[in-house]
Structure 1
Amino acid sequence: MVLLMKKSKGGFTLIEVMVAIAILAVSLTALFNFQSNSVIASARAEKMGIATLLAREKMALALIELEDAIKAGESLDEKSEEGTFDDEVYPGYRWVLTVRKIEIPPPPLPEGGEVDVVQSVLQMITESISEAIREVRLKVYWRELEDQEEEMEVVTHMIRNRTGTGKQTTVTSGNIPASTPPASTPEPAEETSPREGEGN
């Protein structure tokens, strides 16, 4: 009787083995899920970084073309273009570029409904501003999964100033900073030497 009790205390029961296997299975499942999510997040961050660089490059080229058109005296017509990037280096990435006129609503009419001088001047100003501003909108698309497409959008405004050159101001961006024109450096003043006979 004593020998049987000692043998039973020396091993594991079937229930203990099943509980241990269940705990191990749950732990491995959680570990695999965490590892899988980490891989997906890393791949997504890499693709988003590539999309940011591609959007930066494409927007810079578009702004250069628009600024060259402004300097040449051409009108900035509304347009929509689309295309793909290098399929060998960046497969699955495509872009859509739209340039449109900014429509500024006219000022409201006075209570009598008659257009006075101030009203007509304000209307001329709004029309002039609308003609001078163009919205440049760029969208970059890429595929996260086979049936899921992500996008990044960048919006910039091109302004035709009096000198005929363009300035851009990024109002919303997909991790693309706004470009600021460099500040002009004043030229040094010429030194003048005193003439002969002056002074004293």
Structure 2
Amino acid sequence: MNLGLKRDHFCHLDTANGKNGFTLIEVMIALSILSIALVVLLGLRNQGITLAARSRHIIEATLLARQKVTEVSAEGFPELGEKKGDFGTDFPQYTWRQDVVQTPFNVVREIMLEVFWQENNREVSLAVTTYLFDRGTKARSLAPISES
């Protein structure tokens, strides 16, 4: 089937002076568009790498915080006060701070745990708050602490 079109109609462009090819301005515009697209794509790639590293830190910090809360609850009813520490040689880039405060109920303690790490030369943290009930003392009531 012949549509009456010659192959030359698709392969060559006529310029203003009658010669085949692209003009310099067409080449410059094409290169400009290509370079802008490449810069945008490289920027997105770098942003993706940064976000992947940040999400890895957040996941690790969340798991470490969960581990620390489990340790605290396994030790029994915690004493009031603040403690600090690290996660040993397995996770040397992370540190933690635990603050145990009294709640209005004498058998409940609030544990605020914060995990810290360095990211882009600044300290970043993830905070977790939980409450522990004193299961060892059955005689205590859930009545609020009296102010005397």
1:138 paired to 2:113: yes
Structure 2: 5+ residue stretches without partners:
1-14, 140-148
Provide the residue aligned with 1:11 in structure 2: 21
TM-aligned CA deviation for residue 64 of structure 1? 1.4
Distance, in Å, in 1 between the alignment partners of 2:44 and 2:60 is: 25
Matched AA of 2:83: E
Provide the residue aligned with 1:174 in structure 2: none
- 2:93 match: secondary structure: coil
Provide the residue aligned with 2:9 in structure 1: none
Matched AA of 2:48: S
- 1:10 match: secondary structure: coil
Provide the residue aligned with 2:102 in structure 1: 101
Provide the residue aligned with 2:58 in structure 1: 48
Distance, in Å, in 2 between the alignment partners of 1:6 and 1:155 is: 74
1:149 paired to 2:123: yes
Deviation track 1:24-50 (CA, whole Å, cap 9, x = no partner) reads 110101110111111111111111111
Q: TM-score scaled to structure 2, two decimals? A: 0.73
Provide the residue aligned with 2:84 in structure 1: 82
Alignment of 1:162-181 (within 5 A): 162-163=137-138
TM-aligned CA deviation for residue 11 of structure 1? 2.4
TM-aligned CA deviation for residue 163 of structure 1? 2.8
Whichever structure has more strand as a proportion of its residues is 2
Distance, in Å, in 1 between the alignment partners of 2:91 and 2:50 is: 18
How many residue pairs get aligned? The number is: 124
CA RMSD of superposed structures (Å): 2.2
Ranges of 4+ aligned residues in structure 1 off by more than 4 Å: 5-8
Distance, in Å, in 2 between the alignment partners of 1:28 and 1:93 is: 37
Match of 1:158 among 118, 132, 135: 132
Percent identity between the two aligned chains: 31
CA 1:101–1:11: 2 relative to 1, 3 Å: same
Provide the residue aligned with 2:36 in structure 1: 26
- 1:16 match: secondary structure: helix
Structure 1: 5+ residue stretches without partners:
71-75, 105-128, 165-200
Matched AA of 1:56: R
Distance, in Å, in 2 between the alignment partners of 1:15 and 1:91 is: 57
Distance, in Å, in 1 between the alignment partners of 2:58 and 2:16 is: 65
